[in-house]
Amino acid sequence: MFQLGPDHEEFRSLVRDFAVGEVEPHVHEWDRAHHFPTDLIPKMGELGLFGLVVPEEFGGSLEDSDGGAFTNLCIAIEELGRVDQSIGITLSAGVGLGINPILTYGTDEQKQTYLPDLVAGRTLAGFGLTEPDAGSDAGATRTKAELVGDEWVVNGAKAFITNSGTDITSVVAVTARTGTTSDGKAEISAIMVPSGTPGFEVAPAYDKLGWNISDTHGLAFSDCRVPAENLLGERGHGFKQFLKTLDDGRIAISALALGLITRMREEAAAYSQSRLAFGKPIAVNQGVSFQVADLAVMEETARLLTYKAAWLKDEQEAGRTSVAKVKQAASIAKLYTSEAAVSATRIATQIFGGNGFMEEYPVARFYRDAKILEIGEGTSEVQRMVIARGLGLPA
């Protein structure tokens, strides 16, 4: 059965020290300015955070005999997310949506071209799946890529793409219709489009409710030409590839939500003991102490679900369990932790009272950041659909 060992906890301490020392002093300023801290990314690379699941030949730290690599990634995301959700999602998307598709489906040449810089934090990569009219219904992709001679000509648009418009973004992998299957359905493939390619336009950054430090843009492609060898994986398998990528990403989002829940429990417990009302700490009131207890229950449940799913992912990589079990565990973890995170911020804000509505207290920032956890990497409704199907219920 899964459990975190001494090596995991030693790694957690390393990442927590980094998050507290390099991130926390700046997050309020970065959040208010909607500033993406480009200079932080190489520091994360130096710490090895982008290379946890990448083999050594591409600059990562993964050895053939390693176990628990994905669990370590979740620990890193959790600890960064405990300090700031935007920085946590930058790592989560940088590895799960940027590096992972290239690592899993890329050719040797594609891996050698992109992975060393991505692992080192010198560059970032994006994952272009969502479109203005194709979110949960990703099969409704309208972006098209036509093979003309030895080039793909890409036309279309993508929406809400993380790490897609930074100064160090090197490439975005996008899903596109590349033809029609024998049964008349859209053939969807994945195409890698390097930054700066003519016809590839990055829209201005979104003005978001939360995740203000995270880089998020819409993308447009107008007769954008890339070499035929920029196909990622097999032609016609793009949709299947990206769905598998999302399964792993859901565990990472669960870890991000866990970091938030932990921080809300810590903040609420500390504030309830220091805030006085009628001459006593408000923690003496059961109406408050019971809410802090509820936060502890949410945290413990989220931790068990998250690291069970992460353990299963590592077991799958070692050939000891099935993809189906990981898929089910990922959706269960993501559904619970994301919804618990939204509840946790509401509870913590209520305990803080009027101060919880003030931006000088971190609970306000986490309150704004929490909602997207129920939406990104598959909405709560999609998770319930996946779980129901896993139980054998009709699709």
200-202 and 186-194: which strand pairing?
Answer: unpaired
Which DSSP category does 21 fall into? I
CA pair distance 96, 377, nearest whole angstrom:
11
- Would you state the structure tokens that stand for residue 235, as one six-digit string? 């032609």
Phi then psi for residue 236, to 5 deg, are: 85, -5
Catalytic residue among 46, 339, 377, 381: 377
Please list, in sequence order, all residues whose beta carbon lies within 8 angstroms of the beta carbon of residue 366, skipping any fewer than 6 positions away: 85, 260, 263, 264, 345, 348
Alpha helices in the chain (DSSP H): 6-18, 27-33, 40-46, 69-83, 85-93, 100-105, 108-120, 238-274, 286-317, 323-352, 362-370, 380-390
124-128 and 169-180: which strand pairing?
Answer: parallel
Assess contact for 47 and 103: CB atoms under 8 A.
no
CA pair distance 152, 174, nearest whole angstrom:
12
Specify whether 151 is catalytic.
no
Using a 10 angstrom Cβ sphere, with 0-12 exposed, 13-18 middle and 19 or more buried, the burial of residue 294 is middle
Provide the annotated active-site residues.
377
